[in-house]
């Protein structure tokens, strides 16, 4: 982070996010019902829970029956559909008791047409020549906040501080962070740090400048590039080149969040299985093990293969033993066991594999080494792979089979499969 105002929390680089859609998570759609899943998520290795907006939702121009989570009616209240303020406070206590952290979604650019400020402080919103509120962009269920009003910024930061002080939350995920001026976020972080140290700041943006205020940003461009590769519209080489080019535009210690799904992707563009097919799992391996603070969305561990309704109730439908629980548990445990490597790493792509649609990279630090090989072909491959400066006795992390590597390895893999070797 280039700004000297802030210090990045030490735990973040080897950590992970799990996005929680309270409305769809359980049949009840409440904080209390979700709380019953906490021990399972702890066992899976989840470290930071990100809750989609928990505020009351506007009624005017509401979309669907329940409305958009991102149409905030009151920044200092809890959506009663999810439970009471006391229920949320108890949820935070349970999360902390299990050694996890919890952050909430924050929408600073727009609000509901019937947001409480429209009555108490109408000047907090942009108005046209007739003195009427205007919708934000083409989202007709929300109105544009007036960022040029200093009093509005003071009130917004006070509202954020309310959740830190009263509920002891651990940070924020900023919705469309780049639509709100960067000075606001810098000021918010500076002021809130006096209420609680080591708050987590996750920005939905790919603007490198926003790392002046945030710890972690999104990786939409990588997601779009790799989706084009899967569709046969772009070679893997172009994806890697784009990734490396993008990375150079960010500060050296900027953390990026990789994912194969989230609430927007799932509802509007399709599940990871619609987008990636048999490559959904190997790309999840990439998201978890590349230079990333990975994200897992609600239900990916089932795995959930349906698009969830955005404005109405559409319960995910968890099984007693989610089929990919162990898959994600292994990946997240690898990040924890090799914490030193992930926090002080050297990521190197294995160049001679890219033309063969095998995505391979090494993660090294001193004598510790991780080798990741992903078969992104629609057919079985058997390759004798040369990996420079890598040798010794490795273990296949998923099968626990011992493997000797002396700069060469045989990669014998089915379509869409993967190998992770550790030393």
With a pLDDT cut of 70, the percent of the chain lying above it is 99
418 pLDDT higher than 60: yes
Average pLDDT, the chain: 95
C-alpha dist (Å) from residue 136 to 71, 139, 148, 310: 11, 6, 15, 19
272 CB-near residues (< 8 Å, 6+ apart): 260, 261, 265, 280, 283, 284, 300, 303
Contact by Cβ (8 Å): 74, 116: yes
Backbone angles phi, psi at 378, to 5 degrees: -90, 20
207 pLDDT higher than 90: yes
- Tens of pLDDT, residue by residue over 327-338, are 999 999 999 888
Identify the pLDDT of residue 346. Answer: 80
Nearest to 316 by CA among 263, 268, 273, 280: 263
CA dist., res. 329 & res. 42, Å (int): 9
Identify the pLDDT of residue 2. Answer: 43
C-alpha dist (Å) from residue 7 to 171, 172, 406: 14, 16, 40
Identify the pLDDT of residue 356. Answer: 96
Average pLDDT over residues 202-229: 97
**DSSP output for 146-161:** -TT-HHHHHHHHHHHH
> Which DSSP symbol is given to 109?
S
Average pLDDT over residues 228-240: 97
CA gyration radius, the chain: 22
C-alpha dist (Å) from residue 351 to 221, 258, 290, 348: 21, 21, 15, 9
How many other C-beta atoms can be found within 10 angstroms of the C-beta atom of residue 136?
Answer: 21
Identify the pLDDT of residue 261. Answer: 98
Strand order across the beta sheet in which 402-413 lies: 346-349, 358-365, 368-375, 418-422, 381-396, 402-413
Contact by Cβ (8 Å): 323, 302: yes
230 pLDDT higher than 80: yes
Identify the pLDDT of residue 389. Answer: 83
> Which DSSP symbol is given to 269?
I
- Tens of pLDDT, residue by residue over 29-88, are 999 999 999 999 999 999 999 999 999 999 999 999 999 999 999 999 999 999 999 999
- Omega before 303 cis (within 30°)? yes
Q: What is the largest CA-CA distance in the chain?
A: 75
Q: At what angle do helices 182-192 and 150-167 cross, to 10 degrees?
A: 40
Tokens 């209420």, residue? 195
Binned at pLDDT 50, 70 and 90, residue 283 comes out as: very high
Percentage helix, strand, coil for the chain under 3-state DSSP, each rounded to 5: 35, 25, 40
143 phi-psi bin (left φ>0, alpha ψ -120 to 50, beta other): beta
Identify the pLDDT of residue 252. Answer: 86
1 pLDDT higher than 80: no
Contact by Cβ (8 Å): 143, 113: yes
Q: Which residues of 326-350 are buried (b: 16+ CB within 10 A; e: fewer)?
A: ebbebbbebbeebeebbeebebebb
E strands, 12-149, are 17-20, 48-51, 101-106, 110-112, 135-136, 139-144
C-alpha dist (Å) from residue 197 to 201, 207, 325, 346: 12, 25, 32, 29
344 pLDDT higher than 90: no
Alpha helices in 344-404 (DSSP H): 351-354
| 367 burial level (CB within 10 Å; 0-12, 13-18, 19+) | exposed
Identify the pLDDT of residue 342. Answer: 79
Identify the pLDDT of residue 4. Answer: 54
CA dist., res. 274 & res. 281, Å (int): 13
382 CB-near residues (< 8 Å, 6+ apart): 410, 411, 412, 413
Binned at pLDDT 50, 70 and 90, residue 345 comes out as: low
Nearest to 91 by CA among 107, 81, 106, 103: 103
151 pLDDT higher than 60: yes
Average pLDDT over residues 158-175: 98
CA dist., res. 140 & res. 8, Å (int): 37
Q: Which residues pair with 360 in a beta bridge?
A: 373
- Tens of pLDDT, residue by residue over 392-404, are 999 999 999 999 8
């Amino acid at each position: 982070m280039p700004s000297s105002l802030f210090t990045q929390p030490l735990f973040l680089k080897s950590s992970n996010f799990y996005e929680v859609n309270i409305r769809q998570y359980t049949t009840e759609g409440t904080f209390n019902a979700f709380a019953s899943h906490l021990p399972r998520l702890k066992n899976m290795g989840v470290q930071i829970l990100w809750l989609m907006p928990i505020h009351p939702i506007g009624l005017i121009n509401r979309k669907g029956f329940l409305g958009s989570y991102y149409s905030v009616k009151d920044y200092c209240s809890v959506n009663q559909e999810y439970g009471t303020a006391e229920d949320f406070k108890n949820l935070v206590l349970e999360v902390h008791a299990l050694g996890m952290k919890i952050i909430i979604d924050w929408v600073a650019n727009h609000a509901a047409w019937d947001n409480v400020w429209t009555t108490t402080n109408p000047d907090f919103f942009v108005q046209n020549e007739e003195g009427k509120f205007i919708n934000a962009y083409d989202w007709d269920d929300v109105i544009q906040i007036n960022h040029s009003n200093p009093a509005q910024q003071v009130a917004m930061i006070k509202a954020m501080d309310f959740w830190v002080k009263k509920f002891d939350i651990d940070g924020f995920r900023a919705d469309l962070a780049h639509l709100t001026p960067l000075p606001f976020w810098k000021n918010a972080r500076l002021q809130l740090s006096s209420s609680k140290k080591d708050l987590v700041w996750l920005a939905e943006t790919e603007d490198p400048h926003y790392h002046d205020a945030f710890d972690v940003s999104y990786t939409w461009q990588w997601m779009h590039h790799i989706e084009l590769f899967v569709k046969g519209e772009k070679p893997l080489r172009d994806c890697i080149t784009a990734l490396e080019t993008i990375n150079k535009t960010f500060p050296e210690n900027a953390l990026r969040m990789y994912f194969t799904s989230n609430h927007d992707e799932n509802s509007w563009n399709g599940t990871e299985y619609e987008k990636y097919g048999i490559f959904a799992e190997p790309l999840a391996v990439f998201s978890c093990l590349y230079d990333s603070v990975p994200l897992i969305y609600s239900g990916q561990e089932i795995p959930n293969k349906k698009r969830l309704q955005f404005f109405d109730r559409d319960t995910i439908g968890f099984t007693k033993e989610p089929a990919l629980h162990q898959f994600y548990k292994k990946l997240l445990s690898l990040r924890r066991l090799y914490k030193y490597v992930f926090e002080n790493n050297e990521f190197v792509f294995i160049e001679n594999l890219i033309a063969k649609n095998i995505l391979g990279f090494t993660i090294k630090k001193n004598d510790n080494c991780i080798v990741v090989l992903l078969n992104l072909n629609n057919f079985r491959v058997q390759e004798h792979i040369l990996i420079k400066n890598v040798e010794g006795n490795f273990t296949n992390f998923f099968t626990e089979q011992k493997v000797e590597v002396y700069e060469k390895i045989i990669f014998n893999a089915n379509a869409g499969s993967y190998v992770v070797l550790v030393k």
